[in-house]
Amino acid sequence: MDHLYLFATLAGTRIAVDTREVEAVVKLAEISPVPGMGAHVAGLSALRSRVLTIIDAAALIHGKPLPPESRSLAIIADISGHSYGLMVDSVSDICRVNDGELPLRGQLDPAWAPYARGIVEYEGQPCLLVSLATFIEGGIIAQAA
């Protein structure tokens, strides 16, 4: 298989995202908080005349939001007809991986279990393959709790 993946760091962990899910990667100018939302919803931001809901995945995974100075980079995706930005620590590359998705092996941090669906190797290192939609679905469950 010859898939194209976006490689990034999220909540201190190396991840891979199938580029078919990715609309763009942007630097966020400003995030407006939304009162009453869970810690995983950092707020709203504007991108090319549309409103994005900015998700702080670190809050979902580790239970505490990123500090304000770390809220600058997001992967943009359209999920179920809505625009979201998933905040990431950094983005390192977009490239093809000939081996594609590998099954999860070994012990996985339980906090990542709802989000990881496999492993993709990049530069000889394993990266958790995640689907951006799972962070949105997980956030809805977290908000309901």
User: pLDDT tens across 38-62, in order?
Assistant: 888 999 999 888 899 999 988 989 8
CB pairs under 8 A, 24+ apart, for 99-104? 99/1, 100/1, 100/2, 100/3, 101/1, 101/3, 101/129
Instruction: Return the CATH number of the domain spanning residue range 3-144.
Output: 2.40.50.180
- Residue 27 pLDDT > 90, yes or no? yes
Count of other CB atoms within 10 angstroms of residue 37: 14
2 — pLDDT class (breaks 50, 70, 90): low
Note the pLDDT of residue 144: 42
Give the residue among 24, 29, 17 at the shortest CA–CA distance from 97: 17
Domain ranges of the chain: 3-144
Would you say 32 and 44 are in contact if contact means Cβ atoms under 8 Å apart?
A: yes
- Residue 142 pLDDT > 60, yes or no? no
Residue the block writes with tokens 């190396």: 14
* Three-state DSSP class for residue 137: helix
User: pLDDT tens across 61-114, in order?
Assistant: 988 777 767 778 999 999 989 999 999 999 999 999 877 889 998 888 999 999
